[in-house]
């Protein structure tokens, strides 16, 4: 074995550094158990602070060149390594799309692709940095799993499973503090948070789960039963959970993504295949990018915070059956 190959498979350096964040600590624990695991980045070190010093040559920063990042990860995976790759979601999924599709997806290589600040989490960044079509792109690649954690708890619980599965996977990075208790993450399975029936079903994932939970509480306080489903796996999709949710009077798809191509489209495809019809309210970014601001201000401006979501859903629920649900926010008293 060459000196370079030996360095890549050597154990992490035993050094004493400042404490790691939970996500970085999870990666380090995985690397300590698996000498083939590598952590790679395209100068996206925010979620990885402290890892470079601990992992040595098993931490690879290629600079701002996402295509090189993915191609290198594919090459290393062909040599038996297990790369966990990090870059801004907009550039990872769009600039390097062909490399993900052809070099990782087509041969089914065990590369984990972690997209940083996806969707509304890019907050104050403009449209060039807003990944609002990443799920549409990634779910279109055959054999590529897609996972959308709602918070740090889900992200760190699922990561060891994702790595161990040995399949290509795109992860929408969300490490915000958890405000909702979770059931264990099971591959390809949705999480049912509230079991209400015959009123409203809300299907969502990622950072908006917590806003959906708040909206559900407000609706239930007004006598509206709510079935809240966390579709943390976009691919493979828990179609049974979607079809069960479709039994409600109104089915809401809530996403920080373009309505076209994302969760709403995925749910519509599922219902069509099953020949199921229901009243659907799509809530998300409807054919436009959002105005940059801090996250609470973005949520309020887009009508996607808990109180505004509750008002929009209640407005549709109490409107005539013939009315067609739209995506425009309703007035808030």
- As a whole number of angstroms, the distance between CA 289 and CA 299 comes to 13
Task: Count Cβ atoms below 10 Å from residue 307 Cβ, excluding itself.
Answer: 15
Q: What pTM was estimated for this model as a whole? A: 0.90
248 with 281, same domain? yes
88 with 196, same domain? no
| pLDDT, position 16 | 56
Give the E-state strand segments of the chain in sequence order: 37-41, 59-61, 82-88, 112-116, 145-147, 169-172, 191-195, 200-204, 226-230, 233-235, 250-258, 280-285
The verdict on residue 225 lying in a domain is yes
The verdict on residue 210 lying in a domain is yes
117 with 206, same domain? no
Q: Which residues pair with 231 in a beta bridge?
A: none
- As a whole number of angstroms, the distance between CA 6 and CA 57 comes to 10
CATH code of the domain in which 13 resides: 3.40.50.970
16 with 161, same domain? yes
Kindly give the parts of the chain with pLDDT less than 50: 1-11, 15, 322-333
User: Model confidence over 2-28: pLDDT tens digits?
Assistant: 333 334 444 455 545 678 999 999 999
The verdict on residue 177 lying in a domain is no
41 with 70, same domain? yes
158 with 212, same domain? no
| pLDDT, position 323 | 46
| pLDDT, position 26 | 97
44 with 164, same domain? yes
The verdict on residue 180 lying in a domain is no
Listed residues 126, 144, 172: the one ending a domain: 172
- As a whole number of angstroms, the distance between CA 132 and CA 114 comes to 15
168 with 210, same domain? no
CATH code of the domain in which 248 resides: 3.40.50.920
Q: How many domains does the chain have?
A: 2
The verdict on residue 326 lying in a domain is no
122 with 151, same domain? yes
State how far the alpha carbon of 212 is from the alpha carbons of 7, 44, 191, 292, in Å: 47, 29, 13, 21
56 with 205, same domain? no
* Domain, as residue range, for 61: 3-172
| pLDDT, position 321 | 63
157 with 63, same domain? yes
End-to-end CA distance of the chain: 69
- As a whole number of angstroms, the distance between CA 191 and CA 55 comes to 34
| pLDDT, position 17 | 67
235 with 282, same domain? yes
- As a whole number of angstroms, the distance between CA 191 and CA 206 comes to 12
The verdict on residue 241 lying in a domain is yes
Q: Are 44 and 116 in contact (CB under 8 A)?
A: yes
């Amino acid at each position: 074995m060459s000196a370079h190959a030996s360095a890549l498979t050597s154990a992490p350096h035993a050094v004493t550094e400042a404490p790691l964040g939970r996500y970085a600590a999870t990666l380090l624990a995985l690397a300590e158990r698996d000498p083939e695991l590598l952590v790679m980045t395209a100068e996206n070190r925010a979620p990885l602070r402290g890892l470079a010093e601990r992992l040595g040559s098993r931490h690879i920063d290629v600079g701002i060149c996402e295509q090189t990042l993915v191609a290198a990860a594919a090459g290393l995976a062909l040599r038996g390594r297990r790369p966990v790759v990090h870059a801004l979601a907009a550039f990872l999924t769009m600039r390097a799309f062909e490399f993900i599709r052809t070099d990782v997806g087509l041969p089914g290589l065990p590369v984990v692709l972690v997209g940083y600040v996806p969707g509304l989490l890019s907050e104050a960044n403009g449209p060039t940095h807003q990944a609002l079509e990443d799920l549409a792109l990634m779910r279109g690649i055959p054999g590529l799993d897609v996972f959308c954690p709602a918070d740090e708890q889900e992200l760190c619980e699922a990561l060891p499973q994702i790595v161990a599965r040995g399949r290509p996977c795109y992860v929408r990075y969300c490490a915000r503090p958890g405000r909702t208790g979770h059931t264990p993450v099971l591959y390809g399975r949705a999480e049912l948070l509230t079991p209400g029936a015959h009123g409203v079903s809300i299907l969502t994932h990622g950072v908006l789960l917590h806003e959906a939970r708040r909206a559900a509480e407000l609706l239930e306080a007004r006598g509206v039963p709510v079935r809240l489903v966390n579709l943390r796996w976009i691919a493979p999709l828990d179609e049974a959970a979607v079809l069960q949710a479709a039994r409600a009077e109104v089915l809401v798809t809530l996403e920080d993504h373009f309505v076209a191509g994302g969760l709403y489209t995925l749910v519509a495809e599922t219902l069509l295949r099953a020949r199921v019809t229901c009243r659907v309210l799509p809530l998300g970014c409807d054919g436009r990018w959002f105005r940059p601001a801090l996250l609470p201000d973005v949520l309020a401006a887009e009508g996607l915070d808990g109180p505004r979501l509750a008002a929009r859903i209640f407005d549709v629920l109490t409107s005539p059956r013939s009315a067609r649900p739209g995506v425009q926010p309703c007035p808030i008293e």
